[in-house]
Amino acid sequence: QVQLVESGGGLVQPGGFLRLSCAASGSIVSINAMGWYRQPPGKQRELVAVISSGGSTKYAESVTGRFTISRDSAKNTVYLQMNSLKPEDTANYYCSADLAYSDSADVRGIHLWGKGTLVTVSS
């Protein structure tokens, strides 16, 4: 069994800070990339940030300069540090990962999604 477990969501005031965490667990062989997506109420899911196995990062224009994605390879964990939060950042945040895992005697590649964690930015 492989899964992504997210944590860190909650209620924060505008201008505040939050750090989201996402840990991949199971018989993981390798992780190609991990990222964060978000879905505001009534809107489409959108990419927030992604980090590759080589450490390169990409960010949505709306969060550039405020959010930082990072990885802890030893823990198979990705983080999203969110600073200067705005009400428009309110959304369900989803962790994703492209990875390879062991299944019996073979290795399979999959794209995983976490269940999501709610971030609410409001006074």
DSSP 52-89: ETT--EEE-TTTTTTEEEEEEGGGTEEEEEE-S--GGG
Q: Which pLDDT score is estimated for 105?
A: 87
Q: What is the mean pLDDT of residues 8-34?
A: 97
Q: Which pLDDT score is estimated for 108?
A: 95
Q: What is the mean pLDDT of residues 96-102?
A: 96
How far apart, in whole angstroms, are the C-alpha atoms of residue 114 and residue 6? 7
Q: Which pLDDT score is estimated for 15?
A: 98
Q: What is the mean pLDDT of residues 53-63?
A: 96
Q: Which pLDDT score is estimated for 1?
A: 79
Q: Which pLDDT score is estimated for 11?
A: 98
Q: What is the pLDDT of residues 100-112, one digit of tens each?
A: 999 888 999 999 9
User: Pick from 32, 26, 23, 12: which is nearest to 82 by CA?
Assistant: 12
pLDDT above 90 coverage of the chain, percent: 97
User: Pick from 30, 29, 18, 38: which is nearest to 96 by CA?
Assistant: 38
